[in-house]
Amino acid sequence: MQPQLTALCYLRPLAFEWDRLQPDAAGEVIAYTTQALEDDVKLYQRASAFLGKSYSHGMGGFGGEPGDLVQRENDRAQVNGIDRLLEVDEFRRRLSEPPRSDAFDEKHKSTISRFLTAWGRRDAGED
């Protein structure tokens, strides 16, 4: 695993811990993350940090059909408490905008798209 990807695994828990340790209403985390949303790479990093996975497989289908014999990987938006870490509306707005830099490749765009789709499913109660 690449060191950069390993570090992304810790971004979300570290941000929550930073928020927990700061004095009440200090707003340091939100101020930092709101500024970071202006950078396309940091925006991607936050989307990646809040994009989780779940795994499922079926035991049996309808009408006697067999279920899923292969495990299925599903994207999940892990956004509980996200409002303590960043401006949610601004985050969503920036995620929906085209990238501002040429640093974005198809992997970055795909991750953001998958995260927005998972977040939409979660909002609709389908997750």
What does DSSP say about strands 51-56 and 72-77: parallel, antiparallel, or unpaired? antiparallel
The string of DSSP codes covering 37-72 is TTSHHHHHHHHHHHEEEEEE--S--GGG-----S-E
Contacting residues for 103 by C-beta, under 8 A, at least 6 apart: 40, 41
Question: In this predicted model, what pLDDT tens digit does every residue of 60-116 receive, in sequence order?
Answer: 666 666 665 677 889 999 999 898 888 999 999 999 998 888 878 888 999 999 999
The pTM of this model reads 0.77
More confident of the two residues 1 and 13: 13
Local confidence band at 127 (pLDDT 50, 70, 90 cut-offs): confident
- Strands (E) located in the chain: 51-56, 72-77
More confident of the two residues 3 and 105: 105
What is the tally of helices (H) and strands (E) in the chain? 5, 2
Question: In this predicted model, what pLDDT tens digit does every residue of 41-60 receive, in sequence order?
Answer: 889 999 999 999 988 766 66
Local confidence band at 3 (pLDDT 50, 70, 90 cut-offs): very low
Question: In this predicted model, what pLDDT tens digit does every residue of 19-37 receive, in sequence order?
Answer: 888 877 668 888 888 888 9
Half-sphere exposure for 91 (CA within 13 Å, toward CB): 25
